[in-house]
Structure 1
Amino acid sequence: MSSFFGKVQAMGSKVGAQAAQFGTQVVAEAQAGSTKAMTGFKLENETLKAARILQAFLADPHHPESALNAIPKEVLARAKGLAIFTVLKAGFVWSGKAGSGVVIARLADGTWSAPSCIATGGVGFGLQIGADLSEFVVVLNSDEALAAFAKGGNVTIGGQLGASAGPIGVGGAVNTALLRPTPMFTYSKSRGLFAGVSLEGTALIERKDANEAFYGQAIPAVDLLSGKVPPPEAASALYETIEAAESIDEAGLPDQAYVVPEGQLGGTAPLDPATGSAGPPTSQGQKLFDATGAH
């Protein structure tokens, strides 16, 4: 019997050592991936990616009913700016993540600024298995939120400035939620093995080198986001996506709005039209509306 327990103990030690080795390898690969993401992407590619990502979050003008399952037109109309990016997260016990994207600002005349590159990356520890590619749109609702991106350095989601899951849909509940919005609304779409997506504590970093490579000179983010640089042709698809979503006709659509609570994947919590706040979440995977084929 003692021999049997000895074998079990030896096997446990071997598995533990293999898991630790694998964890260390994942950390190294995640760090390498972060480094690659921080040095290898180009602004012109990021703007095209941002246009594709944003299009998946906004209503399709050819299918007005898709507005019931999209970032509300009113949220977009009131936005001071948008940060659009992806985050690749992978790990087994140890986890690593790296991401990239752009931020743009709405100018005084209603047009959109030239984009500024942003990135995120890091390594953490937790009981996580698998890989997940998440797409994010962060709506900047206040001048302070926009200034945080414009001044350069790091912006920590939910750190200096509050952030909350943004409303989805149309109707009075959306307008009520916008009476006193948090500085940032966060929206995410996720694929992979991680259940639930949170941006709390995520640091977004200005990519000065990528901006300089594209614009041909070192231009501070504050100059890009304040309109001192003309919007480049390379970002035209992004501007066109926003313009199309802002022109959608919501006439005749039923009042229907909800949020996706943190930790849910596909679950929804209806918004109270009187308060603009979310009620209890619906069951996992249940949607109040699914504009099939609209995106």
Structure 2
Amino acid sequence: MNKYLVAAALLFTMSAVAPAQEDSMGKLNHRIESAHEVLHALMDTPDKGIPLDIAAKAQCIAVVPSFKKGAFVVGAEYGQGVATCRTPRGWSAPVFVQMEGASFGFQIGGQSTDLVLVGISHHSLDDLLKDKVKLGGDAAVAAGPIGRNSQVSTTELANAEFLTYSRSKGLFAGIDLNGDVVHQNTADTNSFYGKDIPYRVILSGRVPTPPSAVHFVRTVNELFKRGRVRETH
């Protein structure tokens, strides 16, 4: 009798785990799709988007759709997204990241915005490989300029490792994310690839891009190519 109970319990467990895994993959694929939509919106607004010369310099890009901000005296910020880095063979398969921050003061309310972080120095990859990166502390960060030309002339912009952008009500603008923290989301990355793969291996381009992420990586590549074409003319 016991063996039947064990078998029944095993079947129940397997039937419960499979939908949970499918649901988890569905959420991760949705996150990639949302990031893809943010980049498409960015490409469709060249006069209010990332300047092409900055796109040409991009080493890594992280997209955090629907970054949440909520406040009641003490504010909290949180979001999850994906990141990819440039390699000699194109842009890498994505990894999953999360961002969080806090603010203080007399405030109340909440909002959601899309964020794009553009790593423009060769240190960008090393920054993303850290388990936790504090923007403005571990990595120099500045609100990115918008438009077709960057006009990067200030010391802050020239020394920045990451330029940051936000989209609110369909329009993109530079945003100050000093103090926010970018984490590796190793659990989601491992779930997406079905095994434990180090961030460096994925971001170096040694892992094939899964079918559900091809359109995201292709869009990043297209954004980069536009910048490169502009830079050579």
TM range (shorter): 0.7 to 0.9
Residue from 49, 68, 72 that aligns with 2:34: 49
Q: After superposition, where does 1:1-295 map in structure 2 within 5 Å?
A: 42-58=27-43, 60=44, 66-86=45-65, 87-109=67-89, 111-121=90-100, 124-150=103-129, 152-171=130-149, 173=151, 180-190=158-168, 197-246=175-224
SS state at 2:188 partner: helix
Q: Which residue of 2 aligns with 1:23?
A: none
SS state at 1:137 partner: strand
Alpha-carbon deviation of 1:125?
A: 3.4
SS state at 1:95 partner: strand
Query: More strand per residue: 1 or 2?
Result: 2
Q: Which residue of 1 aligns with 2:20?
A: none
Deviations along 1:33-64, one digit per CA (max 9) or x if unpaired, are xxxxxx99843222111111122223x3xxxx
> Greater RCO between the two (CA within 8 Å, min separation 6)?
2
Query: Which 4+ runs in 1 deviate beyond 4 A?
Result: 176-179, 246-249
Residues 248 and 121 from structure 1, CA distance in 2 versus in 1: closer, same or farther, beyond 3 angstroms? closer
Distance 2:176 2:150 in 1: 27
SS state at 1:117 partner: strand
Residues 93 and 229 from structure 1, CA distance in 2 versus in 1: closer, same or farther, beyond 3 angstroms? same
Query: More helix per residue: 1 or 2?
Result: 2
- In structure 2, runs of 5+ residues without a counterpart are 1-23
CA RMSD, 1 decimal? 2.9
Residues 206 and 103 from structure 1, CA distance in 2 versus in 1: closer, same or farther, beyond 3 angstroms? same
Between the aligned residues of both structures, percent identity stands at 31
Q: TM-score, normalised by structure 2?
A: 0.75
Alpha-carbon deviation of 1:79?
A: 0.5
Q: Which protein is bigger by CA-based radius of gyration?
A: 1
Deviations along 1:98-142, one digit per CA (max 9) or x if unpaired, are 210011000113x11011101123555321111110211111111
Distance 2:85 2:225 in 1: 19
Residues 141 and 247 from structure 1, CA distance in 2 versus in 1: closer, same or farther, beyond 3 angstroms? closer
Between Structure 1 and Structure 2, how many residues are aligned?
Answer: 200
Distance 1:124 1:41 in 2: 32
Distance 1:170 1:43 in 2: 32
Distance 1:134 1:187 in 2: 10
Q: TM-score, normalised by structure 1?
A: 0.60
SS state at 1:68 partner: helix
Aligned amino acid, residue 85 of structure 2 = A
Distance 2:154 2:118 in 1: 14
